[in-house]
Structure 1
């Protein structure tokens, strides 16, 4: 099959201009339209300097395939998810490279109901048609183009996840990273003010700027966290919130400016949903599990293990009719959001949780962190990552209580466990370690594993 290097396992992502450019974007739009035959498709783009041009070329390709294009303008990925299911249209495409380097861009594509386009339902066919570039002169009526604004409806939907009267006075530091989140924060702030919701926003790196003057927004990287920490401490804020470029992930900081690993937010949100949905299923990934399983079971829910990755999580959530799913990478998925991930819903829920419990964020997670201390994800770039996995298995498999292969290898060693998995896109191996209440054991085993992996 003829291929294009910008097509990845779940989306389109490539270096400019060789792997992705306006010509390729046109061909992707044309291929999406001709293979899936949608009538109406919503498009949007993040703040990257090439997003508007790529979105225009994509739209031209869609229109030449007879598709009516609804352009929502500057947007985060979840705004495309929302527009697709809210309007009931046949699909959506977001032009974004999220947290990739500045010389990249890409696309995330969905079908009706905001279901992801994957290798199983059209991604490979779209790639083949776009790569072959053998499009005939359009034989259908050219599609229309219309700019629309759904910001009010989207914010209304977001605020439906909480009861605004529950929110106690608080100050929040919000760091959009000069990405696409700022306009949504502004709209939420206006709604709060009109309804006398006592929340004060301290905005940093707020203005959208595709030059990313403060670096690519990716708070998973330690270097991207300091500005939020500093602002929380300087302003005496109750919580800090930072987003990646297309804000489908949000990262939380407590009132002391400490970054909270996404792993512990999964358990927290699972517990929050179970307060209103008794016995519900909560989906989680295999990298770090013990805290989530414990917190969900104590709250009366059913934890369900699923392979890492948005396409797998969304599919499993639909299958199980799960109310919520979370990954330690700060992707959080919601049944009422068409099983899609949102970077806005989580912080709203946590703000309501802090208000209801009358506790700071540090108090909500400190006990959980102490019970199940974890390493966070540690990456190692190797020439032969598979050999490293085999070395680790040879060393620990005999002593393991349980070996699970849902995603890479997960070994339960009794008082500690670990997950080791290969990256889908690069020669990198990813390690996560946790223990039962013994931080020194967790650190000892992490160092032991890293030595074995890297030697």
Structure 2
């Protein structure tokens, strides 16, 4: 690069930008990201939005200043969810979109998610590394625009167009007047629910609803078991038909049945795949390698084509485009849709579940019970490790025996006749992530989970 680095690289991750404020991410870094985005992607018009975090407004202002100083026009959609940036980017036909968010990360974090034309992801292998170099070295080659050619900023209310698009995935006439608990976690999902409430025959019971960057009820991350109690309690107290909770930027939704029980995202993948295959016979469905048997069986039985893909939104979106897949799902509650520019949404999934529950006339627990019993799972188990590669090698040494089927699409997957597992190193944290499933035998699943965890604990050296 030939120039001294004057900013840290820690905030630049594999798929996005995330770091502590102000040490790793601050207004000067945000300004440089704006400048670099225009230089690298020749952007003339960019959509910008932000979450409710206390640092998001100032970071967004600095980002916009960097974009407009380079002559780029900005469409500012204000407080929003990440998927609203995706939608605005492809719907308005602009050159890219940037969402200022740290989603479910700790209070002192913030970040950015970036997309190019058509809402295509910008990640480590599609421009993010080059942007990182520009930001940390300050080695910009393009001059700032003259004062009279600076970009303009347009405030734009996208909510009506966005919610109209969401409703194209369901037939509102099919939806029955159910009672639904919604928990926005004081993130950004609340305003979208308020907009949808006007057109859906649903009684929404709203908890932790108002956007509040102080997060008075904790960081909005429903994957944490301790964060699920409020949603579960509200469902039981109000006799609701099911419940929904979102993370901070609502690109993921998490579902609870009428008894307040949390439903693993894995089972929702098969449920949504089946719904799409009723509309698009023979379509392709993309899924990740962590847990697979339920999805593969449901897709095959519905006449679809299941396709395995490496975990991560950039990989899923790229593979969906390549295969022209109608839907892609990850067990982590990321769901991707062809008609949503192959992007992930935390609103479309629960709308589809709502419609299918209404049509079936059955509670959500009954709709998923048979699948949970047929393929019990451990749920994702994370362990902090110092040398994930060494542990993967040891697991392979111990578990690759005659009859085992090995797959290395993402980490290490080993399959036997009655059970399988995937263990992988996190792309963003010093974690080893383990998932185990079995064919209808919860005892086998639990025994093998304990066995694998014993190996990991023996070698984790932290």
Q: Do they superpose with TM above 0.5?
A: yes
State whether structure 2 residue 191 is matched by structure 1 residue 188.
no
Q: 2:107 aligns with which of 102, 109, 115?
A: 102
Q: Does residue 1:313 correspond to 2:293, yes or no? A: no
1:399 Cα deviation from its structure 2 partner: 3.6
Compute the displacement of 1:400 (Å).
4.3
Work out which of the residue numbers 127, 130, 148 in structure 2 matches 1:125: 130
How far apart, in 2, do the equivalents of 1:271 and 1:413 lie?
26
1:402 to 399, 405, 409: 405
Q: Deviations over 1:314-360 (max 9, x none)?
A: 00000000000000000000000000000000000000000111111
1:445 aligns with 2:448: yes
Question: Distance between the aligned counterparts of 1:424 and 1:125, measured in 2?
Answer: 19
Q: What CA distance in whole angstroms lies between the structure 2 residues aligned with 1:205 and 1:61?
A: 34
User: Contact 2:52/2:187 (CA < 8 Å) preserved in 1?
Assistant: yes
Aligned partner of residue 202 in structure 1, secondary structure: strand
1:287 and 1:200 map into 2 onto residues whose CA distance is 36
Q: CA deviation at 1:397?
A: 0.3
Partner of 1:424: 427
- 1:25 and 2:25 equivalent? no
User: Does residue 11 of structure 1 match 2:19?
Assistant: no
Of 148, 161, 164, the match for 1:156: 164
Name the SS of the counterpart of 2:357 in structure 1.
helix
Q: 1 CA distance for matches of 2:445 and 2:403?
A: 16
What RMSD in Å do the two structures reach over aligned CA positions? 1.0
Matched, 1:434 2:437: yes
Superposition deviation, residue 425 in structure 1: 2.0
Question: Which ranges of structure 1 fall in alignment gaps of 5 or more residues?
Answer: none
Give, in whole Å, the separation in 2 of the partners of 1:398 and 1:419. Answer: 16
Provide the C-alpha distance between the structure 2 equivalents of 1:278 and 1:164, rounded to a whole number of angstroms. Answer: 22
Q: Distance in 2 between matches of 1:120 and 1:425?
A: 15
Corresponding residue for residue 51 of structure 1: 56
- Give the match's secondary structure for 1:169: coil
What is the SS of the residue equivalent to 2:220?
A: coil
Within 5 Å, which residues of 2 pair with 1:281-300? Answer: 281-300=284-303
Residue pairs, 1:164-203, within 5 angstroms: 164-192=172-200, 197=201, 199-203=202-206
Q: How many Å separate the matches in 1 of 2:400 and 2:79?
A: 50
Unaligned runs of 5+ in 2: none
Q: 1:17-71 deviations in whole A, cap 9, x for unaligned? A: 0100001000000010111111100000000001011001000000011100010
**Which digits, 9 at most, give the CA deviation of each residue in 1:362-407, with x for residues without a partner?**
0110000000000010011122222211121111101443100000
1:214 maps to 2:217 = yes
Instruction: Decide which moves more: 398-407 or 128-137.
Output: 128-137
Post-superposition offset of 1:137: 4.8
Contact 1:399 1:413 in 2 (8 A): no
The 8 Å contact of residues 281 and 324 in structure 1, kept in 2 or not, is answered as yes
SS of equivalent to 2:455:
helix
Give 1:113's aligned residue.
118
Structure 1 residue aligned with 2:283? 280
Deviation at 1:188, TM superposition (A): 0.3
| Separation in 1, partners of 2:318, 2:326 | 13
User: Is the Cα contact below 8 Å between 1:333 and 1:341 reproduced in 2?
Assistant: yes
Secondary structure of residue in 2 paired with 1:92: strand
Using the size of structure 2 for normalisation, the TM-score is: 0.96
Partner of 1:395, secondary structure, is helix
Q: Which residue in the other structure is 2:227 paired with?
A: 224
1:138 paired residue number: 144
Task: Tell which deviates more after alignment, 424-433 or 299-308.
Answer: 424-433
Looking at structure 1, the residues matched to 355 and 98 of structure 2 have their Cα atoms a distance apart, in angstroms, of: 32
- Count of equivalent residues: 450
Alignment map for 1:58-77 (pairs within 5 Å)? 58-77=63-82
CA contact 1:26–1:59 (8 Å) conserved in 2: yes
Q: TM-score, normalising length from structure 1?
A: 0.97
